[in-house]
Structure 1
Amino acid sequence: MARSLDGLVLAPVADQAAGQVGTRTRFTYHEEDGAVWAEYAGGDVVRGRLVGTRSGDRLDFRYVQLVQDGTTSSGHCVSTVVELPDGRVRLEETWEWESRPGSGTSVVEQPAE
């Protein structure tokens, strides 16, 4: 199992569609006893939260967010935790909105210092 996510700040490697998470969004992760949660904000996202579980290198969580135009959305995501050769952490994600149509894949990782 890759190292703990607790205290890590992760960022998307590419922009998604307008009104969604983008490269200016930052996620601050927490982890304890198989539970994971994070706060996120930046770019079009005013405030977001995610909460779920970790089993080995698999995360399964729900997320909710408020974007700049005042709308809210929620969805489900399954991620694989990958430790990069330089020691940084990457999450390879498959997600789907539950409050509106849409699904996709994304990658978030620790920014290079």
Structure 2
Amino acid sequence: METPFSQVSERLNNRRFIVANNTQGLSGAGTIFHYHVEEGAIFSTYQGGRIRMGNQVGRVTGPDTIELLYQCLTTDGEMLAGWSRGTVGVDQAGRTTLSFVWGWLSGATGGGESNYVELVV
């Protein structure tokens, strides 16, 4: 049965993503995000690059939209936390894409926009 969350769940659940563009953010080359979706709830882990370990929790907010809270520990020992609102899409190669507007809540200031693409192995 199709639910408002079906498309996002199908596109995110148990899939990994890498950074396509995040010039203002901390994640970058080598950072891998692993998402899970369960009945509209989202959780993920991420690490690599400057991120020692991190996790996200959030929810599906529409047929192709999500919102997340995230926290991480950097390789320099900094603890950071923030928020993001994103759109789930598909590129010309059929890979899932994520586009976010985000901001810091703790440990840093500012925010920006970032883009991620599915890691296909």
TM-score by structure 2 length? 0.85
CA contact (8 A) 1:14 1:23 kept: no
Contiguous gaps of at least 5 residues in structure 1? none
Q: By how many angstroms is 1:17 displaced?
A: 5.1
Q: Do the aligned partners of 2:22 and 2:113 also contact (CA within 8 Å) in 1?
A: no
| Kept in 2: contact 1:7–1:28 (CA 8 A) | yes
Counterpart among 66, 73, 80 of residue 59 in structure 1: 66
Alignment of 1:89 with 2:92, yes or no, is no
* C-alpha RMSD over aligned residues: 1.6
Deviant stretches of 4+, over 4 Å: none
Farther-moved stretch of structure 1 (62-71 vs 3-12): 3-12
For 1:4, what is the secondary structure of its paired residue? helix
Equivalent in the alignment of 2:116: 108
2:36 is equivalent to residue 30 of structure 1: yes
Q: What SS does structure 1 have at the residue aligned with 2:92? A: coil
- Are 2:27 and 1:16 aligned? no
Return the structure number with greater helix share: 2
Give the TM-score normalised by the residue count of structure 1: 0.90
- Structure 2: which 5+ runs fail to align? 1-6
8 Å Cα contact 1:4-1:31 kept in structure 2: no
How many angstroms does 1:112 deviate by? 5.2
SS in 1 for 2:28: coil
Size of the aligned set, in residue pairs, is: 112
Identity percentage of aligned residues: 29
Residue 87 of structure 1: CA displacement? 1.6
Residue type of the alignment partner of 1:40: Y
Other-structure match for 2:4:
none
